[in-house]
């Protein structure tokens, strides 16, 4: 059982870094079940994406799709209790977004396929979601990620700039990150059962997938 003290430590990590890695949050068997159920959908979406020339807008070798459109694959099991309604994540959301002050936005599967390249640095938070583009940061959007395979340097790990969530949203719009000569990201290496809760304003990117198998990850936005 997660204690209030542990929740406080995770909350402080989130406030400082813009993300918190929740090790061993979900049973490995549950993650494997989700991956197995989604495998045929991922394959079908990949085949369609190749025909559509990546109209998803994430660049060659990457796609994202709304898992809600494939609810028939969400059989009884870990989807509700461990992913969509995880009690630890909901307790943290109460702390960072305010109790009763948040709602589910969408649920995606994001896949990084062999041969993909680096994504550009970006924030997930849109201008429309931002109270003040030039003002002090306020957490208004979070993302809960669960990798469906082990993730490391070779298969498309996420890289994030710790503390960048505290920058005004206008920072990466008026000052392109690509023009900054030296930046020092943290690579999120994850095992099955790990998860991430991150601030939507944090600057991040996906690394290349240098392996010969896809790297899928669940993406639940609040």
pLDDT, one tens digit per residue, over 98-130 is 998 899 887 889 999 998 999 989 999 999 999
pLDDT at 74: 64
> What three-state secondary structure class fits 164?
helix
Alpha helices, H only, the chain: 4-17, 28-52, 78, 87-93, 171-174
- 149-196 residue pLDDT tens: 999 999 999 999 999 999 999 988 877 787 888 999 999 999 999 999
pLDDT at 57: 47
Whole-angstrom distance, CA of residue 159 vs CA of residue 188: 6
pLDDT at 205: 94
Q: Would you tell me how many other CB atoms lie within 10 Å of the CB of residue 218?
A: 22
pLDDT at 72: 64
pLDDT at 45: 83
Whether the predicted pLDDT of 55 surpasses 60: no
Whole-angstrom distance, CA of residue 66 vs CA of residue 111: 12
Whether the predicted pLDDT of 53 surpasses 60: no
- 60-104 residue pLDDT tens: 688 888 877 766 666 666 777 888 889 999 999 999 999 988 998
Q: Give the strand pairing for 186-188 and 106-112.
A: unpaired
Residue 190 pairs in a beta bridge with 151
């Amino acid at each position: 059982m997660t204690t209030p003290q542990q929740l406080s430590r995770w909350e402080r990590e989130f406030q400082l870094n813009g993300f918190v890695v929740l090790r061993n949050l979900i049973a490995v068997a549950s993650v494997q079940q989700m991956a197995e159920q989604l495998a045929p959908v991922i394959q079908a979406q990949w085949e369609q994406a190749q025909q559509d020339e990546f109209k998803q807008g994430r660049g060659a070798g990457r796609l994202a799709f709304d898992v809600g459109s494939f609810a028939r694959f969400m059989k009884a099991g870990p989807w509700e209790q461990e992913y969509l309604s995880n009690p630890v994540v909901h307790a943290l959301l109460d702390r960072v977004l305010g109790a009763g002050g948040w709602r589910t936005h969408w649920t995606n599967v994001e896949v990084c396929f062999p041969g993909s390249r680096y994504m550009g640095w970006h924030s997930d938070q849109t201008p429309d979601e931002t109270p003040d583009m030039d003002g002090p940061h306020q957490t208004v959007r979070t993302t809960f990620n669960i990798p469906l395979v082990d993730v490391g340097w070779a298969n498309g790990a996420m890289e994030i700039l710790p503390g960048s969530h505290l920058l005004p949203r206008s920072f990466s719009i008026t000052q392109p990150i690509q023009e900054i000569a030296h930046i020092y990201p943290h690579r999120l290496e994850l095992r099955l059962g790990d998860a991430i809760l991150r601030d939507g304003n944090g600057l991040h990117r996906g690394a290349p997938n240098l392996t010969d198998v896809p790297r899928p990850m669940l993406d639940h936005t609040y």
